Amino acid sequence: MQKSKEYFDRLANKRARFIKRNRYYYRDLIKFLKYSVPQDASVIELGCGIGNVISALPNTNKVGVDFSDKMIEEAKKKNPNVKYNIDDIENLNHSQSYDYVLLLDAINSLNDVQKTLTDLRMKLCHDRTRIVITYYNILWEPIMRLGEILHIKTPSLKQSWLSRGDVRALLDLARFEVVTEGERLLFPKFFPALSWLLNVFIAKLPILRRLCLVQYVIARPLPYERKEYSVSILIPARNESGNIERALKEIPKFGTSQEIIFVEGNSTDDTWEVIKEMSEKYKNEWEIQCLQQPGKGKGDAVRAGFAKAKKEVLMILDADLTVDPSELPKFYEAIAGGTGEFINGSRLVYPMDKEAMRILNMIANKCFGVLFTWILGQRLKDTLCGTKVLLKSDYDRITANRSYFGDFDPFGDFDLLFGSAKQNLKIIDVPIRYRDRTYGSTNISRFRHGLLLLRMTVFAARKMKFY
């Protein structure tokens, strides 16, 4: 450790020069972090060097840590707006939890990666912390060595060259779970037009992306114990009068307490009158809220209902009851046990009733699943199942940051999925059995709404993949 410290102390007054030579690389790293780390999050960077990255983030509560006295001395001179601590990543004295822990281009230099990650889990993480790790692609080792010889890259001591599988395994051993991972920078130098083409577009393509210089992973600490929550079950209902009482009869009891929120959406039948009648009939059995939708579309209904929700977990159950209410405890268990943070129903695993989904709808759903897996960086099989579940605290963060995408989704499904991925929530599919309708007809137009969904997917790809 002492030898390494002395080595980096000697490099401290040269570090700014190497950063300047590689400013395109660092601009891209900072752009990635500004996208990935919410501005209101508390952040700590381990191995911060002279603080050029942590100081560039807009966050107010941020700390830089490095074991080199000289590096920290340079950091304080150049970036006095950041708090810096002299500490050893592998033997941390610092013990305070943060929303985001950054380990940037440092994991390869650690003597014992597993022990370090385990210590970080204990000393710096709360239940909702995210750890962001960047590391060099092992394929680039010869080029990086050449860069050191030519004095283009900061020289380093002997390093471990870890594969993607190595990093995943080490995170598993330290009780972290990967939320998302990916690659950046196919061409880490600036050249007009060429750098933009290679790094913004070609670097995102299958197979070719595996050649990128930078690999990254965002992970979360696995919970040690199960938690119990109260639950708000939102039921958007348009022309569904025949399903209202059935929903109240079939929804099972779970969680510490429950409320049911009906949001009636401009029905042409007597849905609103039935909702009022049933809320009175079942008022001793359920805590019920009844709302009339202020605007149009399911997305507007979901936002209106969630704004009135009083409980800790938010659930959506479509009033057509093609998802059996008896399935809802599965979604609750996934949240309560910490298996996931955004629980998404999947209708495309089990066999479904004969008339439940038309063949064109099924093909479109499968295509959207493939596209979303690529866009979000998390596996997703069914994007349009109406049943979705998340914590109200996470939904509030999605709402607060909705301006990034805008109010673009009349259905609500994509708004929640994109917002959850942007907040680095762990998305989990829960397979359900999809049933035929027993009352009414669908409010979805296959072709008109399908084209709208495709346009939203392209928009999301631009905002999340090609930024």
CATH code of the domain in which 137 resides: 3.40.50.150
CATH number at residue 451: 3.90.550.10
Residue 102 confidence (pLDDT): 98
343 confidence band (pLDDT: 50, 70, 90): very high
- Average of pLDDT values for 194-205? 93
Last residue of a domain, one of 221, 247, 279: 221
Residues 171 and 242 in one domain: no
Residues 201 and 316 in one domain: no
- Average of pLDDT values for 185-193? 94
- Average of pLDDT values for 355-376? 76
435 confidence band (pLDDT: 50, 70, 90): confident
Residue 441 confidence (pLDDT): 55
Residues 165 and 208 in one domain: yes
406 confidence band (pLDDT: 50, 70, 90): confident
Considering Cα of 284, then 286, then 287, then 288, what sign does the dihedral take? negative
Q: Please count the structural domains in the chain.
A: 2
Residues 410 and 298 in one domain: yes
Q: Which helix (H) or strand (E) holds 289?
A: strand 287-292
Weakest mean pLDDT among 158-167, 206-215, 409-418, 445-454: 445-454
Last residue of a domain, one of 190, 221, 252: 221
**With contact defined as beta carbons under 8 Å apart, do 288 and 260 qualify?**
yes
Whether residue 226 lies inside any domain: the answer is no
Last residue of a domain, one of 158, 188, 221: 221
Residue 437 confidence (pLDDT): 58
DSSP 131-191: EEEEEE-GGGHHHHHHHHHTTSS----------HHHHHHHHHHTTEEEEEEEEE-SS-S--
The top-scoring range by mean pLDDT among 1-5, 7-11, 438-442 is: 7-11
Residue with tokens 């938690």: 227
| 73 Cβ contact list (under 8 Å, min separation 6) | 12
pTM of the complete model: 0.89
Residues 200 and 242 in one domain: no
Residues 340 and 416 in one domain: yes
- The mean pLDDT value of the chain amounts to 89
Residue 229 confidence (pLDDT): 97
Residues 286 and 348 in one domain: yes
Whether residue 325 lies inside any domain: the answer is yes
- Average of pLDDT values for 291-320? 93
Whether residue 99 lies inside any domain: the answer is yes
pLDDT at 261 over 70: yes
Higher pLDDT, 353 or 120: 120
Q: Which helix (H) or strand (E) holds 126?
A: strand 125-136
Residues 49 and 82 in one domain: yes
- Average of pLDDT values for 301-325? 94
Residues 201 and 308 in one domain: no
Whether residue 374 lies inside any domain: the answer is yes
pLDDT at 276 over 70: yes
- CA dist., res. 32 & res. 27, Å (int): 9
- Average of pLDDT values for 33-49? 95
pLDDT at 117 over 70: yes
Residue 313 confidence (pLDDT): 98
- Average of pLDDT values for 237-254? 94
Residues 311 and 440 in one domain: yes
Percentage of the chain with pLDDT > 70?
93
How crowded is residue 17: how many other Cβ atoms within 10 Å of its Cβ?
10
Whether residue 315 lies inside any domain: the answer is yes
| 343 Cβ contact list (under 8 Å, min separation 6) | 331, 334, 335, 388, 389, 390, 428, 430
pLDDT digits (tens, 9 = 90+) for 11-24: 878 888 989 999 99
Residues 258 and 395 in one domain: yes
pLDDT digits (tens, 9 = 90+) for 78-89: 888 899 999 999
- CA dist., res. 447 & res. 443, Å (int): 12
Residue 356 confidence (pLDDT): 54
The top-scoring range by mean pLDDT among 114-123, 289-298, 408-417 is: 114-123
**With contact defined as beta carbons under 8 Å apart, do 289 and 262 qualify?**
yes
pLDDT at 357 over 70: no
Residue with tokens 């700390």: 63
pLDDT digits (tens, 9 = 90+) for 120-174: 999 999 999 999 999 999 899 888 888 888 888 877 777 787 888 899 999 999 9
Percentage of the chain with pLDDT > 90?
62
Residues 237 and 205 in one domain: no
Residue 322 is part of which domain span? 231-464
Chain-centroid distance, C-alpha 215:
17
